[in-house]
Amino acid sequence: MLSRSEIETALRQWHRAWADHDLEGVMALFHEEVLFENWTGGRAAGRENLRRSWAEWFARHGGFRFIEEESFIDESQQKVLYRWRLEWPSIEKGWEGRPETRRGVDVLHFKDGKIVRKLTYSKTTLDIEGKRVRLVPEGP
């Protein structure tokens, strides 16, 4: 089990890796058996599957920046609620390349000192050029 201080240190290192667009640094905190689910329902099971899916995302979406807004740590349960803001060039139709701000929350579960579950939830609106834009779901 990680202490609260060790969880805080791990999150700082993880956040720094995201800021540096360092995929291997980001992946270093994930457990081999990680399950990731994103806000669209997409998922990746296992660290190598997650690395492959994120390698493409890192390559396509340069210029992103996650800002930690706040974190809640439950040391006894080895869980973290991580509230974030994403700033990046928009990929939304009609807004491509314009500065976008998106907000969300990650629910992180730790096992053996690593993140074994990362559940990501995002608002269904984002801000572009001072305007609130509603996300349009893909698919049926």
pTM for the whole thing? 0.89
- The closest alpha carbon to 50, from 73, 66, 29, belongs to 29
Number of domains forming the structure of the chain: 1
Report yes or no: 91 and 80 within 8 Å, Cβ to Cβ: no
Place of tokens 């701000």: 101
What's the pLDDT score for residue 1?
Answer: 92
In a domain, 14, yes or no: yes
Mind listing the pLDDT tens digit for each residue in 66-122? 999 999 999 999 999 999 999 999 888 888 889 999 999 999 999 999 999 999 999
User: Domain containing 93: what range?
Assistant: 4-134
Asked if residue 139 is part of any domain, the answer here is no
Query: With the CA atoms of 23, 29, 35 and 36 taken in that order, what torsion angle do they form, in degrees rounded to the nearest 10?
Result: -50
Say if 140 falls within a structural domain.
no
Dihedral sign computed on CA atoms, order 135, 67, 87, 110: negative
Kindly state the average pLDDT of the residues 49-74.
91
Q: What is the CATH number of the domain that holds 26?
A: 3.10.450.50
